[in-house]
Structure 1
Amino acid sequence: MDTLTHALSGALLGRLIARPPDPARPAPKPWQMVVAGAAAATFPDLDFVLGYVSELTYLRGHRGVTHSVLLLPLWGLLIAWLLARVPKMRAPGIDWPAFYVVVCAGIGIHILGDLITQFGTMILAPFSDRRFGWGTTFIIDLPLTGLLVAGLVASALWRRSRAPAAFGLMAVCAWVGVGAVGKSEAIDAARRHAMEQGITAVALDAIPRPASPFNWTAVIDDGERFHTAHINTRRSEVMEAGPDDNLIRRLSSHYRPVTMAHWQVRERFGNGGYGEVREQVRAVWSAPDFAFFRWFAMFPVLDSVGGAAGGACVSFRDLRFETPGRDSLPFRYGLCESSAGWALVERTMAGWRKLSGR
């Protein structure tokens, strides 16, 4: 989820947690709790600094220790202590314990906000690098962000009540639930297609897509290849869109009704013409230097077999990030042959680029 939406969710949660004024029990003011919640919910994304070390360090560490539920109490202690040192957050009788609960809640809602996406969050770091994700929601969801904004605006209008914050957060939960229903429907569509076509499915999944909670890429994994279709589980007719239509319609038009779905087959190690280099492709996939991508990718397929100065290059992509209507594809990595052996590279629009931080 984007950092702005994280901050908004923490702010709304802070308003919900804020206590009414009580002279007998000094407590932070509601606006201070909103600030504390927003700051705490932004904190985990400070791992962007790993990008200054190297791209691979960022990919390996993003959504890692700062997103860990095991370390959350310690992060909460640190941030609460820092907030209590900020002059405008100070007040007589108020120190870091007054902010601890809201800070921990802010970090927690950030972790939940990332778990509903499919990128993967290492909630057990540093003891495990396993990535978790429910995959109910696209990483940028404008209606979800809008519900948070509405909750904050309503809270500003009805300052004495915590009800707007509660209703706003409940509405967000309901919206995520709608996405969960859409995912279940997409997986059911994949299951029916596998049964009808006699495909032995090792796994079934669905990738959330933008513009609607019912836009999905249904995925059937048969162990060697992926069968995929871009579908809208509630649509009965094909949506047409032209260059003059709005962005939402253009994005959504790629997703067809389930009964009219176009299923494609994508082999892990290449379709058709790549047969003659299949062993080389498998060798790159299994190479020790490519371990990070095997760990990172959920639906890996061959991206390209080509050449660069010095020798052959093989790259892979992850179907999670192959969004219809998107001009560029991120996270395309591979190995290129060189005089010193195989080098880790990223395939960009401009060509092959050697990576540092191996």
Structure 2
Amino acid sequence: MAGIVCSIERFREKLGYLTTFGLFLLGIYTHIFLDLITSYGTLVFFPFTDKRYSLDLVFIIDFYFTALMLIPLVIIKFKREWTKVIALSSVAGIIIYLGIAYTWRTIAIESAKAEAQKLGITGKRVEAIPLPFSPFRWSVYIEDDKRFYQVDVDALKSISPFNSFEKKHLPEGLNQGPEGNNIIEKVEKLEIVKTYLWFARFPVVTVKEEGEGYMVEYFDLRFNSLPPRRPFLLKLILDKSGSLNHAELMFHTIK
């Protein structure tokens, strides 16, 4: 953006203020759009609402999509007489790529639904997010009242077995009484946990007895696509009364 600003400043008198303003708006809304098409999403209507919106069409770093934007810029550097044709070709390529991604995302969801029906799995929510390196590979999530089901679908090859994850996983002793749920209720009043749950889309929580207290882990299954890594794992250490001793957000956790 700094380079764009400097370049525009040099030619501001030639471009005029309205053109300059339009280019800035284009840059801002292009940035928002590029965030919107990823599985991370963005706050489209902030500050009016902090709800995150996502189209789930491309992985956070998509090499093919990036190439469709960067390679034309490199070519234009050496072939300025082709600028218009190359620019239009780049835009057309991006639109086609996103269309392919949307189509195969829909196919992946329908394939997962059909397979889930065979297994007797029904869900109140079904979503798919892109996997890296291909617009044909998707991770599909099916949610019911107590579990998330995750299945990876390669639209050109096969569908993987379903993985099942309890939304709340408690040790057997705690699971028999109210103590485990009381621990979860306590930690979910903490600001760090509220923020994590606001960001997470498929959160699961695990409570473990540890020493004289408990360890509580929150993990967003959205990042369960590259095992054994578990990035964005929130770990909380509590004493026996449920008071917080330590909290840590871990980015490169290995199972």
Calculate the TM-score normalised by the size of structure 1: 0.61
Alignment of 1:1-358 (within 5 A): 35-36=3-4, 86=9, 89-90=10-11, 92=13, 94=15, 96-160=17-81, 161-235=83-157, 257-258=158-159, 261-270=160-169, 274-278=171-175, 279-286=178-185, 287-289=188-190, 290-303=193-206, 305-307=208-210, 311-325=213-227, 327-338=228-239, 341-343=243-245, 345-346=247-248, 348=250
Separation in structure 1 between the aligned mates of residue 252 and residue 118 of structure 2, nearest angstrom: 42
Separation in structure 2 between the aligned mates of residue 350 and residue 153 of structure 1, nearest angstrom: 34
Could you say which structure has the higher strand fraction? 2
How big is the shift at 1:303? 4.7
If asked which structure has higher relative contact order (CA below 8 Å, sep 6+), I would say 1
CA contact (8 A) 1:216 1:232 kept: yes
Q: How has the CA–CA distance of structure 1 residues 162 and 181 changed in structure 2, closer, same or farther, with 3 Å as cutoff?
A: same
Q: How has the CA–CA distance of structure 1 residues 128 and 165 changed in structure 2, closer, same or farther, with 3 Å as cutoff?
A: same
% of aligned pairs identical?
A: 25
Q: What one-letter code is carried by the residue in structure 1 that aligns with 2:33?
A: L
* Unpaired runs of at least 5, structure 2: none
Q: How has the CA–CA distance of structure 1 residues 166 and 328 changed in structure 2, closer, same or farther, with 3 Å as cutoff?
A: same
* Count of residue pairs brought into register by the alignment: 245
CA contact (8 A) 1:331 1:346 kept: no
Secondary structure (helix, strand or coil) at the match of 1:130 reads coil
Secondary structure (helix, strand or coil) at the match of 1:162 reads helix
How big is the shift at 1:177? 1.6
Q: How has the CA–CA distance of structure 1 residues 347 and 313 changed in structure 2, closer, same or farther, with 3 Å as cutoff?
A: farther
Secondary structure (helix, strand or coil) at the match of 1:125 reads coil
CA contact (8 A) 1:301 1:317 kept: yes
Calculate the TM-score normalised by the size of structure 2: 0.84
Separation in structure 2 between the aligned mates of residue 149 and residue 96 of structure 1, nearest angstrom: 27
Deviations 1:29-74 (A, max 9, x none): xxxxx953xx6xxxxxxxxxxxxxxxxxxxxxxxxxxxxxxxxxxx
Q: How has the CA–CA distance of structure 1 residues 265 and 155 changed in structure 2, closer, same or farther, with 3 Å as cutoff?
A: same
* Unpaired runs of at least 5, structure 1: 1-6, 8-33, 40-81, 236-256, 352-358
How big is the shift at 1:347? 5.4
Separation in structure 2 between the aligned mates of residue 301 and residue 276 of structure 1, nearest angstrom: 19
Secondary structure (helix, strand or coil) at the match of 2:57 reads coil
